[in-house]
């Protein structure tokens, strides 16, 4: 397929991440959006995928390119993350998204003893590449360096079409939580539970039928809690599942680097690759938004 055959383009990019206004004006021409029906989403790439899927399902377009862009080398990541929070209630606490992950880790270790027992094995399985120390965030206690992301420049692109292919979209779901951190369930991740539940219901699948898991999480603890939120692990068993569950790809999208808002689409693309390579028949991929995973999108893929 060539760019001229595309009917529409959906872009996911975030002005604050790139450090410029209207960042989509930079990414649109490179994503073949010139003279095409184009939609720009200031959210995670999984949300852009959900929008593109809705457009194809509605019959308004037959082919749609989804592209997500995150270039964290262009600015100070912690300062950008800090600017996302409320300037009166949260920013004075020097809060960042890594800081929120630290709060989650503190609660998880206090409430679930199994997390401490399995965190080293789960971290070792990630096989995360070595990164520039300047692009690795300082660990917010009780997080450890091996449990942190490596800030990277990440771009993902996927084409969705109405014609049958080897890998099909079976279900899509979305969920959101309150903006204020004090109003959220930091361990339960209800937005992710709702999004994954919607996607699985639409696909008419249960979590036990999922062969491939590509779950977005900024840190190891975020990934472990995501396992519980989608039902792939029992409450308190997320870290043990990360250490042993073959459905989790330890060298998947996040292990190669992390960059909002591209990770959700990167996980979807990786899930499609794993299905095409014969790792199973059904996959669940998720993506979380900035502001510490306030909103979530989930996609269920299946082989024809």
Tell me the pLDDT tens digit for each residue of 141-197.
999 988 998 888 899 999 999 999 999 999 999 999 998 888 999 999 999 999 999
- pTM exceeds 0.85: yes
pLDDT at 29: 78
* Residue 205, pLDDT above cutoff 80: yes
Handedness of CA 68, 162, 273, 231 (dihedral sign): positive
pLDDT at 109: 98
DSSP three-state, residue 243: helix
Average pLDDT over residues 76-98: 90
pLDDT at 129: 57
Cα(213)–Cα(182) distance, integer angstroms: 29
pLDDT digits (tens, 9 = 90+) for 9-58: 999 988 777 656 566 677 777 788 887 888 888 899 999 999 999 999 99
Please enumerate, as own/partner, the contacts of 241-249 that have beta carbons within 8 Å and a separation of 24 or more: 242/118, 242/122, 242/125, 243/118, 243/121, 243/122, 243/125, 244/121, 245/213, 247/210, 247/211, 247/212, 247/213, 247/280, 248/213, 248/215, 249/212, 249/213, 249/214, 249/274
Domains delineated in the chain: 1-304 (3.40.47.10)
pLDDT at 135: 67
Please count the other Cβ atoms lying within 10 Å of the Cβ belonging to residue 36: 17
Alpha helices, DSSP H only, in the chain?
15-18, 24-30, 45-58, 77-83, 97-111, 113-125, 190-203, 220-229, 238-244, 263-276, 290-293
β-sheet bridge partners, residue 151 = 258
DSSP three-state, residue 262: coil
Cα(62)–Cα(53) distance, integer angstroms: 10
75 pLDDT band, cuts 50/70/90, is confident
**Mean pLDDT for all residues in the chain:** 90
153: exposed, middle or buried (Cβ count in 10 Å: 0-12, 13-18, 19+) = middle
Contact 149, 270 (CB under 8 A): no
pLDDT cut 90: percent of the chain above it: 67
Contact 287, 296 (CB under 8 A): yes
245 pLDDT band, cuts 50/70/90, is very high
Of residues 251 and 283, the one with the higher pLDDT is 283
Handedness of CA 83, 85, 88, 89 (dihedral sign): negative
Please count the other Cβ atoms lying within 10 Å of the Cβ belonging to residue 99: 22
């Amino acid at each position: 397929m060539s760019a001229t055959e595309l009917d529409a383009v959906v872009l996911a990019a975030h002005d604050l991440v790139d450090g410029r206004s209207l960042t989509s004006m930079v990414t649109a021409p490179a994503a073949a959006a010139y003279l095409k029906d184009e939609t720009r989403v200031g959210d995670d790439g999984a949300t852009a995928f959900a929008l593109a899927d809705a457009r194809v399902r509605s019959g308004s377009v037959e082919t749609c390119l989804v592209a997500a862009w995150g270039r964290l080398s262009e600015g100070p990541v912690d300062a950008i993350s800090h600017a996302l929070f409320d300037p009166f209630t949260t920013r004075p606490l020097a809060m960042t998204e890594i800081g929120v992950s630290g709060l989650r880790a503190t609660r998880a270790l206090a409430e679930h003893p199994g997390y401490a027992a399995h965190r080293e094995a789960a971290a070792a399985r990630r096989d995360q590449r070595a990164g520039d120390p300047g692009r690795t965030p300082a660990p917010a206690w009780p997080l450890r360096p091996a449990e942190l992301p490596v800030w990277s420049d990440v771009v993902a692109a996927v084409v969705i079409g109405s014609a049958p292919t080897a890998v099909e979209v079976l279900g899509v779901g979305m969920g959101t939580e309150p903006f204020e951190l004090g109003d959220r369930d930091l361990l339960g991740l209800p937005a992710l539970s709702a999004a994954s539940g919607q996607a699985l219901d639409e696909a008419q699948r249960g979590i036990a039928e999922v062969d491939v898991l590509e779950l977005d999480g900024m840190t190891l603890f975020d990934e472990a809690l995501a396992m519980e939120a989608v039902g792939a692990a029992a409450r308190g068993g997320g870290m043990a599942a990360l250490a042993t569950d073959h459905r989790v790809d330890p060298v998947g999208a996040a292990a190669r680097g992390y960059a909002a808002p591209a990770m959700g689409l990167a996980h979807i693309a990786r899930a499609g690759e794993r299905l095409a390579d014969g790792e199973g028949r059904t996959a669940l991929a998720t993506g979380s938004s900035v502001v510490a995973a306030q909103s979530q999108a989930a996609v269920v893929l299946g082989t024809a």
